[in-house]
Chains A and B, each alone.
Chain A
Amino acid sequence: MMLNTLLPILLFAALGLAVIGAGKRFLMWRRGRPAKVDWLGGLLAMPRRYLVDLHHVVERDKYMSKTHVATAGGFVLAAGLAILVHGFGLHSRILGYALLGACVLMFVGALFVAKRRLDPPARLSKGPWMRLPKSLLMFAVSFFIATLPVAGILPEGFGGWMLAVLLAVGVAWGVSELFFGMTWGGPMKHAFAGALHLAWHRRSERFGGGRSTGLKALNLDDRTAPLGVEKPRDFTWNQLLGFDACVQCGKCEAVCPAFAAGQPLNPKKLIQDMVVGLAGGTDAKFAGSPYPGQAIGEHSGAPHLPIVNLNGKALVDAETLWSCTTCRACVEECPMMIEHVDAIVDMRRHLTLEKGATPNKGAEVLDNLIATDNPGGFAPGGRLNWAADLNLPLMSEKKSVDVLFWVGDGAFDMRNQRTLRAFVKVLKAANVDFAVLGLEERDSGDVARRLGDEATFQTLAKRNIASMSQYQFNKIVSCDPHSFHVLKNEYGELGGHYQVLHHSTYMDELISADKLNLGQHKGGSVTYHDPCYLGRYNGEYEAPRAVLKAIGIEVREMERSGFRSRCCGGGGGAPITDIPGKQRIPDMRMVDIQETGAELVAVGCPQCTAMLEGVVEPRPQIKDIAELVADVLLEAPAPAKKPVPTKPEALEVH
């Protein structure tokens, strides 16, 4: 019987090619720099990561998760059984029926894949991806028919040589796409690379519900290590593997604020460009949305060639890298758990540390941070001027307190000073034992780090850690999610381990402990904007809402809120590098806000405040949660002895 000889040949040839391809691909990834991974443990943990953690993300899109379970589950079963039945000729009826069942499951799944592809949303890639559902169907159908005789449903040799040829062609198509296409760069590559990416992920802490968002430190003492990523092979090898896992679903593209604003960034294209870089070639075959305003096919790269050419074109333009606000929306949505932000910052590091090419105000801000410890270049001695009349306790006097209030660089900004003063009012009303570092505090290093200046970040961080090490405190509280994140998640690697709270979390604690005597918010409806560095970076969505609830505010949620919150445009140094687009990110966010009909938007971040207040009026008012709480503080009525305002001298105003 012809099929009985042909099918094993086809199957094993395809498998053989797949193994060769896998080896080649593996060597491509290994061109990257070494990374410490748990080889065996990772592999063992992989099925769980695939079935639980990855599924958890895919599950947000019910249609796709069901489709994927059916197709992928059906395929894995069918492939395994087909190898047994047709490859090794184990013609048992039970196996035959099982294989038929698997083929049906896969077929149904593939039908839904095909349905999605009828009118695919813009975020999906076309090209070879349009072929994939056909290949899936072909695989399922061919093996279904070829297995019917095994199950005893059709007689052996049914259909004669005509059907046998047809089936052979169908099987050949199916296994080409699904077996060796997997390792030779076809759309199915995502399954192979994805599985290994999950096994040797650079942030294995993310699995099992964990969170890992702090950037990883460069070892500046190692003079031989590259300062960031210049060429694709400067990535660690498991980063390259991660890029290869991309399934081009475009979930990242759909949520990227920079892409929506028409800035030249598309996280999906960026990851695909990295794949081009690791394998070598041009981006001409990319079949998805381009970087806004840039044509496809003009960029190319190779593992050993620089990614960015400052005087021309290479793999990626510098503006693409500088458009990112590091909002992490892409990482949050990515079903393959790819780390876009790490990659972007790695490449920025090279541009800043080696090339001195931080665009626009970047160089000035970094110089200021180096010379004055604040991005604005203000005299460092003025760091506490905002509180000149508040009589703030200083750490240098108190030495030991419960709460260290981390003020942040908002101290130099008149708008943010209102927030800071409001929060001090709350702290005092709750009789909190707190103090500030005063002039011993420096910029947390957040902006420097995200602009790629790891050296300045580490200097600032180490000096801050040294300041704090002189004192005793139980926790740090900050009104700035960026400082909060850096202190909490990024100082640890440099030796600073603290319990850090955002002021909304702390106020929530104070309220729960009945330390605050609060009235009710008067005034119109309110919505709440989740700061990226509080929400996605640190998972704090509840406390701000609880605080607002406690003062009688029912939040009118925006469509994009919580982990789907849209960035205000203020993170990652984006306002400093200021890459032009078609519209501004804060304007888009303000539209989200206005859609709720709220008259006021509660915020919890000085950057968000600044960005949203920068939107032209009329628009809702912007208030920090601390201001809202301070506004409704009920104090024991103070003796009403207001000084009579002295009559101002007549001034001649010209």
Chain B
Amino acid sequence: MLPDNLNIITLVSIGAHPTSGRARRAEQDARAVELGLRLAGDKLQVLHAGNPADEALRAYLGMGLSELTVLEQPSHGDALPLLNSYLKDAGAQLVLTGSQAETGEGSGMLPFLLAEQLGWPLVVGLAEVEKIENGMAQVLQALPRGQRRRLKVRLPFIACVDNAAPTARQSAFGPARRGQLQACEVAVVDDSLLVDAHFQPARPRPKRLKVIKAKTGAERMKAATAKAAGGGGQVLKDVSPQAGAEAIFKLLVEEGMLR
């Protein structure tokens, strides 16, 4: 259900292993590559902005890519403008990314900023692309607790994947060694944020203590599997668009999101 000439580009970054911190392919980015490979096979293009000599990039090649394009830039460069212009010129129709990088800022903002600058729609939590027809894609978006939402999106668009997307295939030594890292010279743009900001180690987020009052195993099971009870919400069904919008507006004002 996919057009032959679909132009898919996956953006990848350098990851870091959670326990050793060693450079590796980033987990979510690898899933984005996996999704891309399933959709476009060997026509998938993979793009990275950074150092083309970085060996960790070979782990993506090991998934069976013959080449990976690297927009060459130093670590203090801003990837956003480079990606923006590259994607525009490349005529990309679907851009896949992870949700959040494992190294660098890791703010998770890149897909949003890119979508904003390109003026494209953004789908977060992409789990599956079901079909693409007549310039429209039908995709499944992952929601908490294994739920899925079916969306129709107009091409071109950006989608970021999280851990709901299929696991990345194994990276194999042979293709990793054979694949080409194609360096692309581009005009480097300094990241203005990095100029006056500095990195510091993250403090682990405090975990909410879970007080289990259950006396029996069955109760414990219930406590572990129960849905978080929101309580305050309100389900609107069969209301007019006007009434729905008003309800949302009212809530946003109440929550202080809009003033």
Interface residues of A (CB under 8 A from B): 223, 227, 352-358, 362-363, 366-367, 370-373, 377-380, 453-456, 654
Q: Least Cβ distance of B247 to chain A in Å?
A: 41
Complexed CA–CA distance, A362 and B171 (Å): 11
The residues of A that contact B20 with a CB separation of less than 8 Å are 371-373, 379-380
Known contacts A356-B64, A367-B24, A654-B212: A377-B173 contact under CB 8 Å:
no
Q: Least Cβ distance of B225 to chain A in Å?
A: 18
In-complex Cβ contact of B17 among A227, A355, A372 (8 A): A372
The residues of B that contact A380 with a CB separation of less than 8 Å are 19-20
The residues of A that contact B17 with a CB separation of less than 8 Å are 371-372, 377
Q: Least Cβ distance of A311 to chain B in Å?
A: 14
B57 interfacial by beta-carbon distance below 8 Å: no
In-complex Cβ contact of B173 among A353, A362, A367 (8 A): A353
Q: Least Cβ distance of B44 to chain A in Å?
A: 16
Residue of B nearest to A368 (CB): B17
Q: Are A372 and B173 in contact (CB under 8 A)?
A: no
Q: Are A355 and B172 in contact (CB under 8 A)?
A: yes
B174 interfacial by beta-carbon distance below 8 Å: yes
Q: Are A377 and B64 in contact (CB under 8 A)?
A: no
Q: Least Cβ distance of A104 to chain B in Å?
A: 59
Residue of B nearest to A226 (CB): B174
Residue of B nearest to A228 (CB): B174
B151-187 vs A, Cβ < 8 Å mask (1 yes, 0 no): 0000000000000000001111111010000000000
Q: Are B24 and A370 in contact (CB under 8 A)?
A: yes
Q: Are A354 and B174 in contact (CB under 8 A)?
A: yes
Q: Are A372 and B19 in contact (CB under 8 A)?
A: yes
- Centre residue among A223, A227, A357, A372 by max chain B CB count within 10 A: A372
Q: Are B212 and A352 in contact (CB under 8 A)?
A: no
Complexed CA–CA distance, A341 and B169 (Å): 27
Complexed CA–CA distance, A358 and B20 (Å): 23
Complexed CA–CA distance, A373 and B22 (Å): 10
Q: Least Cβ distance of A350 to chain B in Å?
A: 9
For the A-B complex, the count of residue pairs with Cβ-Cβ distances under 8 Å equals 59
Residue of A nearest to B64 (CB): A356
Please list the 7 inter-chain residue pairs (A to B) with the smallest Cβ-Cβ separation, ordered nearest first.
A356-B172, A356-B170, A363-B170, A371-B17, A379-B19, A354-B174, A455-B173
Q: Are B22 and A371 in contact (CB under 8 A)?
A: yes
Complexed CA–CA distance, A352 and B172 (Å): 6
Complexed CA–CA distance, A357 and B169 (Å): 8
Q: Are B170 and A366 in contact (CB under 8 A)?
A: yes
Q: Are A227 and B19 in contact (CB under 8 A)?
A: no
Complexed CA–CA distance, A367 and B63 (Å): 13
B215 interfacial by beta-carbon distance below 8 Å: yes
The residues of B that contact A453 with a CB separation of less than 8 Å are 173
The residues of A that contact B172 with a CB separation of less than 8 Å are 352-357
Interface residues of B in 198-218 (CB under 8 A from A): 212-215
Complexed CA–CA distance, A355 and B170 (Å): 8
Q: Are B175 and A354 in contact (CB under 8 A)?
A: yes
* Sample of 14 A–B contacts (CB below 8 Å): A227-B174, A353-B173, A353-B174, A354-B172, A356-B64, A356-B171, A357-B170, A367-B24, A371-B19, A373-B20, A379-B19, A379-B20, A380-B19, A455-B173
Q: Least Cβ distance of A353 to chain B in Å?
A: 4
Q: Are A654 and B174 in contact (CB under 8 A)?
A: no
Complexed CA–CA distance, A49 and B237 (Å): 86
B62 interfacial by beta-carbon distance below 8 Å: yes
Interface residues of B (CB under 8 A from A): 17, 19-20, 22, 24, 62-64, 169-175, 177, 212-215
Known contacts A379-B19, A654-B212, A654-B213: A356-B24 contact under CB 8 Å:
no
The residues of B that contact A355 with a CB separation of less than 8 Å are 172
Residue of A nearest to B168 (CB): A363
- Centre residue among B169, B174, B177 by max chain A CB count within 10 A: B174
The residues of A that contact B171 with a CB separation of less than 8 Å are 356, 367
Contacts beyond the supplied A357-B172, A362-B170, A371-B19: 7 A-B pairs with Cβ under 8 Å:
A353-B174, A354-B173, A377-B17, A378-B19, A454-B173, A456-B173, A654-B215
Complexed CA–CA distance, A356 and B169 (Å): 7
The residues of B that contact A353 with a CB separation of less than 8 Å are 172-174
Complexed CA–CA distance, A355 and B175 (Å): 8
The residues of A that contact B214 with a CB separation of less than 8 Å are 654
Q: Are A377 and B19 in contact (CB under 8 A)?
A: yes
Complexed CA–CA distance, A579 and B206 (Å): 41
Q: Are B173 and A227 in contact (CB under 8 A)?
A: yes
Q: Are A372 and B169 in contact (CB under 8 A)?
A: no
The residues of B that contact A373 with a CB separation of less than 8 Å are 20
Complexed CA–CA distance, A358 and B170 (Å): 8
Complexed CA–CA distance, A378 and B17 (Å): 10
The residues of A that contact B173 with a CB separation of less than 8 Å are 227, 352-354, 453-456
Q: Are A356 and B62 in contact (CB under 8 A)?
A: yes
Q: Least Cβ distance of B209 to chain A in Å?
A: 13
Residue of B nearest to A357 (CB): B170
The residues of A that contact B64 with a CB separation of less than 8 Å are 356
The residues of B that contact A372 with a CB separation of less than 8 Å are 17, 19-20, 22
The residues of A that contact B62 with a CB separation of less than 8 Å are 356
Complexed CA–CA distance, A129 and B173 (Å): 44
Complexed CA–CA distance, A455 and B173 (Å): 7
The residues of A that contact B170 with a CB separation of less than 8 Å are 352, 356-358, 362-363, 366-367
The residues of B that contact A654 with a CB separation of less than 8 Å are 212-215
Residue of A nearest to B63 (CB): A356
Q: Least Cβ distance of B57 to chain A in Å?
A: 14
Complexed CA–CA distance, A248 and B169 (Å): 39
Q: Least Cβ distance of B141 to chain A in Å?
A: 27
The residues of B that contact A456 with a CB separation of less than 8 Å are 173
Q: Least Cβ distance of B37 to chain A in Å?
A: 12
The residues of A that contact B175 with a CB separation of less than 8 Å are 354, 356
Q: Least Cβ distance of B214 to chain A in Å?
A: 7
Complexed CA–CA distance, A377 and B20 (Å): 8
The residues of B that contact A379 with a CB separation of less than 8 Å are 19-20
Known contacts A356-B64, A377-B19: A371-B174 contact under CB 8 Å:
no
